[in-house]
Amino acid sequence: MLSAKEVERIESFFKKKFGNVSGAFKEVNAGSESYFVFAERKSNRCFFLGPDNKCVIQDVKPLDCVAYPVRAVYSECNNVEFIIDSSCPASVGLSEGFVKEAKSLALRSLKRFSRKAYLHWFDNYLVSKK
């Protein structure tokens, strides 16, 4: 889930280094609010993952990516819980320090959007809800 500012920052950075980034993002309308997601691809491989498996937008990486594989999510009781996406190969070797920092970033990421928009994204675009 990306904000318009994150998309602008990524597009600007990417154009300077690699050229056009068209087709990488999709704007989603969630009632009175919108957000962006990465465009659908044939594989789950990130659009910005280089052939060497390194992030080519490391300098402007969105909050969700920086915190990954840790995510802040709303529970049934409207509390915030933290989950670790177990489909990420790095999820098994995370240090305590990384998890603590990632939780802080995931919480900041969660609060960028209304609860309604976040739940729309969660229900429609989150690949792994583990």
Residue 130 lies in a domain: no
Supply the pLDDT for residue 20. Answer: 62
Which domain covers residue 26, as residue numbers? 4-125
State percent of the chain over pLDDT 70: 90
The angle formed by the CA atoms of residues 43, 48 and 51, to the nearest 5 degrees, is: 75
In the block, residue with structure tokens 């709303």: 74
The answer as to whether 73 is a domain residue is: yes
CA distances from 98 to 11, 53, 72, 84, 91 (A): 27, 20, 14, 12, 11
The answer to whether residue 58 is domain-embedded is yes
What pLDDT, in 10s, does the model give residues 31-41? 899 999 887 76
Give domain status of residue 107, yes or no: yes
pTM comes to 0.79
Mean pLDDT of 62-75: 90
- Within a domain: 23: yes
Q: Regarding predicted confidence, which is higher, 50 or 84?
A: 84
Strands (E), the chain: 25-30, 33-38, 70-74, 80-84
pLDDT at residue 21 is higher than 70: no
Q: Average the pLDDT over 33-54 and give the result.
A: 81
Residue 87's pLDDT is 81
What is the per-residue pLDDT for 28?
A: 93
Would residue 47 count as lying in a domain? Answer: yes
Is 52 inside any structural domain? Answer: yes
pLDDT at residue 80 is higher than 90: yes
Total count of domains within the chain: 1
**Residue range 24-33, pLDDT digits in tens:** 788 999 989 9
The secondary element (H helix, E strand) that includes residue 4 is helix 4-18
Greater confidence (37 vs 42) lies with 37
The residues with which 74 forms a beta bridge, in sequence order, are: 80
pLDDT score for 130: 40
